[in-house]
Amino acid sequence: MCGIVGYIGKNQAAPFLLHGLEKLEYRGYDSSGIAICSDNKIKLEKKKGRLQILCDKIKDINVSGTIGIGHTRWATHGKPSDVNAHPHLSQSGKIAIVHNGIIENYITLKNFLIDKGYNFLSDTDTEVVAQLIDYLYNGNIFDAVNEAIKKLEGSYALAVLCGDEPDKLIAVKKDNPLIIGLGDNENYIASDVPAILSRTRNIFRLNDNEVALITVNDVKIYNNNGEEQNRNVTHVDWDVDSAEKGGYEHFMLKEIMEQPKAIKATIASRIAEDKIRLDDIEFSKEYLQNLNKICIVACGSAYHVGCVAKYVIEKLTRKPVEVDIASEFRYRNPIIDKNTLVIVVSQSGETADTFAALKEAKKMGAKVLSIVNVVGSSIANESDYVLYTWAGPEVAVATTKAYSTQLSLMYILGIYMGEKLGTISQEDVKNYIDSLSQIPQQVEEILKSKDDIYEIAKKYYNSQNVFFIGRNVDYAVCMEGSLKLKEISYIHSEAYAAGELKHGTISLIEDGTLVVSIATQDNLFDKTVSNIREVKSRGASIISITADNKKDKISQISDLPIYLPKTCDIMTPSLSVIPLQLLSYYIALLRECDIDKPRNLAKSVTVE
Ligand code: M6R
């Protein structure tokens, strides 16, 4: 997962390339580089480390030219270094390429090219593609690229620049995202919309196995049989602000604060007068009745949404729900068929394992419904049905508003299916819809107490180990709270089903160990309180999250209680996750971590 940009036009390429890369740094940030062509010569500048290092270098040198490509990297083959950074230049110096993905047969190709006299400078799989195109180049870069990709195995979004043909850029997409921005006498290539938003809102989305030939005032798209494709222009209506920090210190905090708006946008169009509508999707009662089970498949936080949804959908529909981590699902030979509904969940819609799981499920005859944030992404395109979360662009690596909107759609789905199946009454439907409609306002209320959470963070930001405990949906939210904390603050943490702690893990509790407990479920409240007592009596410091009406009981055993507005049992995750997001954010802030771009991570995981 890396970020790609390209520019061809009448203006200088470098300013756009650097700006675009800044917007794509969330995709990887261990090195960056640009290649610009002028007077048929390609000039390469690349640096290990954050983009700023490259920008500082470029400030002092002349990189003029009106055509170029750029890249921000998340290393797969070869450690982060200047030489492994993209773009990669072919031996003749004629061809420069940037790549997002993995070339699986690169060793075979590399050996072949070494036999033909090519020397390699880097440890990357990508350099092989530059040399291969060079080897096949016969005066026509478009033909050479088309020939080269026939020999590639794996996944690749590519942008290609040729010194001998400085009037064209070539873009290729297979299993990794790539868009083309359409300007006035200038055109752009990018991995994602934020990179081009300041220049144009009109884009072409490339489909898999398509190659685009881009000139200053034309874009032609071809499929892998060389047939020209008609493509409608997609108009992007995101406002620039929603892809910028808008006055907040970090994208993560901005995105946390955007949750009321994002949840509202996601549910509003799906609720009409005490009824749920799934956009244009209609599941018949018969189809739902015949379902033997529902499988939810996703990675990371999206998987945690699935863990909440299991409790919710089973309760509302009485259908068995399995939840799988996508990288496990795709290789475990799951038992699914045409009577299984597979729900895949993904913010980016590009996560490699989730995408592969989707294809696997379809191959086995299941229908796939995806819950996705990025419109037109690979997962959305391949699914039988899509429900979009209307969260807007999410930039911080740690997801917040995508998680919350995915969760809202799980409630929407559960209520819809429960009503169709008759497993919940009309009155239940009305009550659930009422509760769901109040969530945005209730999240807003919780966000108002963010300064209190900051004070709590001040007490605990030096913790070395943190345990999150809860039961039922509270346990599922604990998983998300724990991931959030570890990914941005680098504190070790674990989520445990509260009743499971005494089967081993409680031995890790000692004086001062921080335990965050969630106890929102009426029927399980006393049980969780007992578990809190167990760790408290062994020295743990307790932060408890519970409903407002539980104040009396919880205040006696908590060092720091956090109270939530009252909602129905299944929807408490939408509220309880908010203090956990804020707690992680402030702890990471106090530890001076790189919150939006935590170490070793990238926003969009497009490699297996
Ligand atoms: O784009 P996706 O929702 O498919 O991404 C899945 C995970 O990589 C993602 O949720 C990840 O766990 C987040 N960084 C967690 O904050």
Atom of ligand 1 nearest to the CA of 397: 14
Greater model confidence, 133 or 376: 133
Q: Does domain 248-446 have CATH number 3.30.70.20?
A: no
How many Cβ atoms sit within 10 Å of the Cβ of residue 228?
10
* Averaged pLDDT, 224-250: 82
Q: How far is the CA of 347 from the centre of ligand 1 (A)?
A: 7
Q: How far apart are CA 229 and CA 221, in angstroms?
A: 5
The answer to whether residue 67 scores a pLDDT higher than 90 is yes
Q: Is the CB of 299 under 6 A from ligand 1?
A: yes
pLDDT of residue 467: 97
Atom of ligand 1 nearest to the CA of 406: 3
pLDDT of residue 237: 78
CB half-sphere exposure, 359, CA atoms < 13 A: 10
pLDDT of residue 96: 98
CB 510 within 8 A of CB 526: no
pLDDT digits (tens, 9 = 90+) for 107-160: 899 999 999 999 999 999 999 999 999 999 999 999 999 999 999 998 899 999
Q: How far is the CA of 253 from the centre of ligand 1 (A)?
A: 17
pLDDT digits (tens, 9 = 90+) for 258-297: 999 899 989 988 998 889 999 889 999 999 999 999 999 9
pLDDT band at 250 (very low <50, low <70, confident <90, very high): very high
Q: How far apart are CA 509 and CA 494, in angstroms?
A: 12
pLDDT of residue 240: 64
Q: How far apart are CA 125 and CA 240, in angstroms?
A: 35
The answer to whether residue 75 scores a pLDDT higher than 80 is no
Beta bridge partners of 297: 324, 344
In sequence order, what are the residues at sequence separation of 6 or more whose Cβ sits closer than 8 angstroms to the Cβ of residue 135?
A: 113, 116, 118
Q: Is the CB of 487 under 6 A from ligand 1?
A: yes
Nearest CA residue ID for atom 7, ligand 1: 300
Atom of ligand 1 nearest to the CA of 603: 14
Q: How far is the CA of 580 from the centre of ligand 1 (A)?
A: 17
Q: Is the peptide bond before 87 cis (omega within 30 degrees of 0)?
A: yes
The answer to whether residue 248 scores a pLDDT higher than 90 is no
**Catalytic annotation, residues:** 2, 603
Q: Is the CB of 605 under 6 A from ligand 1?
A: yes
Name residue 113's amino acid: L
pLDDT of residue 556: 84
Average pLDDT, the chain: 93
The answer to whether residue 325 scores a pLDDT higher than 90 is yes
Question: DSSP character for 87?
Answer: P
pLDDT of residue 71: 97
Q: How far is the CA of 126 from the centre of ligand 1 (A)?
A: 25
**CATH architecture of the domain formed by 449-595:** 3-Layer(aba) Sandwich (3.40)
pLDDT digits (tens, 9 = 90+) for 406-418: 999 999 999 999 9
Average the pLDDT over each of 279-283, 551-555, 593-597 and give the range with the smallest value. Answer: 551-555
Beta bridge partners of 515: 467, 542
pLDDT of residue 243: 61
pLDDT digits (tens, 9 = 90+) for 463-515: 999 999 999 999 999 999 999 999 999 999 999 999 998 898 898 999 999 99
pLDDT of residue 391: 87
pLDDT band at 239 (very low <50, low <70, confident <90, very high): low
Atom of ligand 1 nearest to the CA of 604: 1
Q: Is the CB of 30 under 6 A from ligand 1?
A: no
* Averaged pLDDT, 86-103: 95
pLDDT of residue 604: 76
* Averaged pLDDT, 520-535: 94
What is the fold, at CATH topology level, of the domain defined by 3-237? Glutamine Phosphoribosylpyrophosphate, subunit 1, domain 1 (3.60.20)
Q: How far is the CA of 354 from the centre of ligand 1 (A)?
A: 10
The answer to whether residue 241 scores a pLDDT higher than 70 is no
Q: How far apart are CA 100 and CA 563, in angstroms?
A: 45
Q: Is the CB of 569 under 6 A from ligand 1?
A: no
pLDDT band at 194 (very low <50, low <70, confident <90, very high): confident
* Dihedral sign computed on CA atoms, order 382, 387, 391, 392: positive
Q: How far apart are CA 517 and CA 558, in angstroms?
A: 9
Q: How far apart are CA 502 and CA 366, in angstroms?
A: 40
For the chain, give every residue range classified as CATH 3.60.20.10. Answer: 3-237
Atom of ligand 1 nearest to the CA of 304: 10
**Mutation test residue for ligand 1: of 605, 606, 607, 608, the one with most atoms within 8 Å of CB:** 605
**Mutation test residue for ligand 1: of 308, 386, 399, the one with most atoms within 8 Å of CB:** 399
In sequence order, what are the residues at sequence separation of 6 or more whose Cβ sits closer than 8 angstroms to the Cβ of residue 53?
A: 32, 47
Ranked by mean pLDDT, which of 144-148, 269-273, 373-377, 599-603 comes out on top?
144-148
Beta bridge partners of 544: 517, 561
The answer to whether residue 210 scores a pLDDT higher than 70 is yes
Nearest CA residue ID for atom 12, ligand 1: 300
Average the pLDDT over each of 85-99, 314-328, 551-565 and give the range with the smallest value. Answer: 551-565
What percent of the chain stands above pLDDT 90? 81
For the chain, give every residue range classified as CATH 3.40.50.10490. Answer: 248-446, 449-595
pLDDT of residue 118: 97
Q: How far apart are CA 571 and CA 566, in angstroms?
A: 10
Nearest CA residue ID for atom 8, ligand 1: 300
